[in-house]
A and B are shown apart, each in its own frame.
Chain A
Amino acid sequence: MLLQGSPIGDALSADWIFPTAECFHISAFALSIGTIALVDLRMMGMGLRRYSAAQMIGDTEPWTLLGLLIVVFSGLVLFASQPRIYYPNPALRFKIAALVVAILYNFTIHRKLALSDVSLMTSRLAAGVSMLLWLSVVSGGLFIAFV
């Protein structure tokens, strides 16, 4: 709210900033959710089977974190360009709520189960929940433009 009309808000509403931030947002989105999806697929018994889910976490986590950092930062830039329009948007609120849950889930329950020796059933369930959570973040983001 404070951002709109402030020098920062004005700077962020320049014509080229929004599309540029969108480019970073989508590329980093492919990196962050893509790496998480690779772990999920492995937990479901698919994909890079030479590695255990625990090894997958070790190799993907730095990239997931880098992707999340860029995706959240560029998302804030997008938001700050027109906070008065975005703030009341129900799809955006849903997306942020889903994002918070997805991130918390990813670095607690999901991570713990991937690192420990659990049954395939549990592993699949954990991966399925992860995929659903990230899917709701993505669809929430899309619906921002449609509600």
Chain B
Amino acid sequence: MSLFPLFHWLQSTEFFAALSGSQLVYPIVMTVHLACIAVFGGMILMTDLRLLGLAFTNYPAAEFVGSLRTGKRIGFCIMVAAGLLLAGSKAETYYGNPYFWAKLTLLALVAVHAVVFRPRVYAKLAELDRAGVMSAEAKVAAYISLVLWIGILCMGRLIAYYEPPRSPF
């Protein structure tokens, strides 16, 4: 079953048609999306660098992650909401855009990352703090997180550069 009819319908709803037609609202939603990337993305990058022992080395990792958790969750929700608005208003073009699907795949892998590493690393940070050294697993989790999120940022940018093959008609 193809999802195209769904994407086509979404874009043609009055709501998304108005959004994509707006010279002002669309860029503002984009600004919100980007501002969240800076604040929330910055928190993720620094968390990964903390686990790698490259930043905030004297700050207990458990507390570091704990203090940023609420901020990350709020940021993530606003970022996704703005992202859905952006994607919804261009749903038809996004449907055929491989970078869009690559971005969604990477986001799904972020969920897998959370399921795999939360019990092994993020729930055990206090233990790692007491041991005074980050486990190899924690570093692997941080490297994978860095690769996933930088990948998501890049795929997001590249969505704009994909040109669909010309229709033969």
Residues of A within 8 A of B (CB): 18-19, 22-23, 25-27, 29-31, 33-35, 37-38, 41, 46-51, 59-60, 63, 134-135, 138-139, 142-143, 146
Contacts and interface: CB of A to CB of B under 8 A. Distances in A.
Interface of B: 23, 26-28, 30-31, 34-35, 37-43, 45-46, 49, 55-56, 59-60, 63-64, 67-68, 71, 150, 153-154, 156-158, 160-161
Contacts of B64: 48
Contacts of B154: 23, 26-27
Contacts of B30: 142
Nearest to B41: A30
A63 B55 CA distance: 9
Contacts of B35: 135, 138
A38 B46 contact: yes
A34 B67 contact: no
B59 A138 contact: no
Contacts of A134: 38
A146 B157 contact: no
A143 B67 contact: no
Given A33-B39, A138-B34, 11 more contacts: A22-B157, A29-B34, A31-B42, A34-B43, A41-B39, A47-B67, A48-B68, A51-B56, A59-B56, A63-B49, A146-B26
B59 A33 contact: no
Contact of B158 (A23, A30, A38, A142): A23
